[in-house]
Amino acid sequence: MKIQWTEFRILTVMLLLPLLLPLLPACTPQAEKPVVVIYVSVDQVYAEPILKRFEEQTGIRVLAVYDVEASKTTGLVNRLIAEQGQPQADVFWSGEFVQTLLLQQEGVLTPYASPESTSLPDHLVDPNHYWTAFGGRARVILINTDRILLSEAPRGLADFLDPRWQPERIGLANPLFGTTCTHAAALYAIQGPAVARQFFADLAGRGVRILDGNSVVRDMVAAGQLDFGLTDTDDACGALANGAPVAIIYPDQDSTGTLVIPNTVALIAGGPHPQEGRLLIDYLLSPSVEAALISSGWFQIPTRTEATAPAVGTGCLDSLPQRMITVPLADIYHQLEAAKSDLTEIYLR
């Protein structure tokens, strides 16, 4: 079928119409309202109300892009790196710290010392103010109480290797991705690479189940398909809130302590709205937001003492971990590459 010159022109117009339609929103004036763009690696269901409140309080319109767990951390962080020449985002808010430190190393971030960071513990604030950490989710063992008595429940990561537990009824998320990967890097930092590597090799050798994400661990423990598994407190609390027969155990309270993974927030270098970005960072680091995020169930471990009350009052946690892993965040980050390399060899076979 040959297309003639006139038809060619008609078709070109037809082609341009749908192409131009999507551009219209970009051309529509937004009534001079100030804007801030934030990339969020925190579940939308928790982050969105916080950002809406910021809009109401400041009149600054927040344009957010939310990451999804299924992207296996190849989503927004890679977008930020790829956009480095011409950044679109002003602020990055992450549910953990490893990716933020990576962005710092890649030169994506710019320093900002928020006045709100003065009330935070020193180890949660980057010495050069490239990022600030706040709040936290603990890595916990979630047990199914229909299958395990609380008095006989596992107390630490070493129990994952205990022969009294059937390996096919124990699970953790794929340690190549997400907070389980961060946890692995933390073990590398605390125990040394050789010991940590052996631990994961033994887990694989035993046949402990490797699942697609912490939420899958939560669902399988809640459904009784697993006796227990390693997950985050936000997932664990979600199962409790849904009335599942589960209980939360802080691991290794008598040895290395429980890993708490804080949220991080950072200003993007060369972002289009730096002033609004700084205001948003101040807001996110405020004690009221920390309390709100604890109340909503996004994180459970407060970084300020005044936020403790709602943490233990939500009905999820009876108490906070007595002993936490205190290795500097940067040390954990520096173990990440070695941990990922080893874990790829162990688990992706």
Partner 1 sequence: MPGQPRRPGFQFLWVLAAIVICVGPVALLLLAALRGVIQHPDWLLLVWPSERRARLLWNSLSLSGSVAVVGMLTGLPAGLAIWRLPTRIKRVLQWLVLIFVPLPPYIHALVWLAAAQGINTVLLSLGLPPISLQGWGGTFWIQWMALLPLAVGITLLALQTVDPATIEVGQLLAPGFSVLGRIVLPSSAPLLLSGTGFLFLLTLIDHSVPGLLGLNTYALDIFAEFSATNQPARAFLLAVPGLVVSLLVLLGVQSGIRRIAQPGAQPGAGSGSQSGNWSRRSILHFPLPGWFLVLEQLAVALVTLQIIVPLATLVGEVGSVDRFKQSLFAARSEINYTLWLSLAAALLCLILGWLTGSGLSQSRRQSAVVWWLVTLPLAVPAPLIGIALIMAINHPPWSLVYASAAMPVLAAVSRFLPFATILMAAQINRTDPLLLDAAQIACANPIRRLVKIQLPLLAPGFLAAAILIFSLTLSELGATLLVIPPGRATLTLRIYNYLHYGASAEVAGLGLMLVGVLVLAFLLLVLGYSLWLRLRRVE
Cα(136)–Cα(183) distance, rounded to whole angstroms?
13
Q: Nearer Cβ to partner 1, position 83 or 159?
A: 83
Q: Nearer Cβ to partner 1, position 42 or 325?
A: 42
Contact 187, 179 (CB under 8 A): no
From 119, 122, 67, 139, select the one nearest 289 (Cα to Cα): 119
Alpha helices in the chain, H assignment, sequence order = 5-20, 24-27, 44-58, 76-82, 98-105, 178-191, 193-206, 214-222, 233-241, 274-284, 287-296, 308-313, 329-347
Q: Nearer Cβ to partner 1, position 66 or 123?
A: 66
From 254, 258, 253, select the one nearest 236 (Cα to Cα): 258
- In sequence order, the β-bridge partners of residue 143 are 228, 247
List phi, psi (to 5°) of 324: -120, 155
> Minimum CB separation from partner 1 for residue 322, in Å?
28
> Minimum CB separation from partner 1 for residue 155, in Å?
26
What percent helix, strand, coil does the chain show, rounded to 5? 50, 15, 35
Cα 61 from chain centre: 24
Q: Nearer Cβ to partner 1, position 213 or 321?
A: 213
Q: Nearer Cβ to partner 1, position 211 or 329?
A: 211
Q: Nearer Cβ to partner 1, position 125 or 261?
A: 261
Contact 255, 322 (CB under 8 A): no
> Minimum CB separation from partner 1 for residue 88, in Å?
6
> Minimum CB separation from partner 1 for residue 15, in Å?
5
- DSSP code string of 3-43: --HHHHHHHHHHHHHHHHGGGHHHHS--TT--EEEEEEES-
> Minimum CB separation from partner 1 for residue 120, in Å?
26
> Minimum CB separation from partner 1 for residue 66, in Å?
6
> Minimum CB separation from partner 1 for residue 272, in Å?
9
Q: Nearer Cβ to partner 1, position 7 or 331?
A: 7
> Minimum CB separation from partner 1 for residue 109, in Å?
14
Cβ–Cβ contacts within 10 Å for residue 114, how many? 21
Q: Nearer Cβ to partner 1, position 82 or 150?
A: 82
Which tokens is 232 given? 């985050």
